[in-house]
Amino acid sequence: MSRLFSIARPIEEIVAHFGVNLSSVASVPSETVEGTPGLIVLEKDGLRLLKSPTWGFPRQTGEMRHNGEPPGRIGLVADLTNPLWDRVVVDAKYRCLIALTHFANPDGVKGAKTRTWFSLHRQPLVAWAGLCRNTPELGPVFAGLTMAANDKIRPLNDRMPVLLKPEEYERWLHGSIEDVIAFQYREPPASDEFAVLQTRDRWQSGTPPSQASRRRDDVLS
């Protein structure tokens, strides 16, 4: 999966959908890339909290430390055996629901890539299975699990986010490590559940799907 997603819904709808008890968020970011804020829902003391940390856990190699470089970011959890995740993936207190309506992949030729957005037909507001924690390097951060892509997404990317249905929220937030593994390695959602919005917008244009300039040959299916 690429490192770009969007939330094209108002804050009031997000609060209602996820049953949020307390929110410290005043506005919805039009889009999120690594290093910028997104919206997540986490649970603490039986309450659901809406927060806006930045996307991407800190990642610093030995070579980066040796060269005095600051930590980079890693926002996608593709391999649960990576030591970066070994402390958070087993503890439910680090689970969260990442709110989104669309995720994007670059489309086209190198140097002129455009944004192609994907969303679910019958689930306009979606939860992406996420992990979160407060880090000494970057403060509060989050990352999202990925899985093998379905046939509609695979031409642009062989990975996609682990998307949850509302009835799966509780199991993700409170389930066992076996549940986490099962979510990541299950079959991807069917291709016909997804709408595709192909645009003329350049990949780094900063244009969210609600303002997208559609390609004349795009097909929503």
Which pLDDT tens digit goes with each residue over 163-200?
999 999 999 999 999 999 999 999 999 999 999 999 99
Lookup: tokens for 52: 């806006």
Residue-wise burial string across 30-55, b where 16 or more C-beta atoms lie within 10 A, e elsewhere = ebbbbeebbbbbbbeeeebbbbbbbb
Q: Residue 220 has what pLDDT?
A: 43
Range 4-60+69-211: architecture per CATH: Alpha-Beta Complex (3.90)
Predicted model pTM: 0.93
Are 37 and 29 a contacting pair, CB within 8 Å?
yes
What pLDDT score was predicted for residue 61? 66
pLDDT profile of the chain (221 residues), mean per 10: 90 96 92 96 96 92 67 90 87 97 95 95 94 95 97 96 97 95 95 96 91 70 39
Domain boundaries, the chain: 4-60+69-211
**If you search the block for the tokens 């610093």, which residue do you land on?**
60
Cβ atoms of 144 and 128 within 8 Å: the answer is yes
Q: Which two tokens stand for residue 106?
A: 């670059």
Determine the pLDDT at residue 185.
94
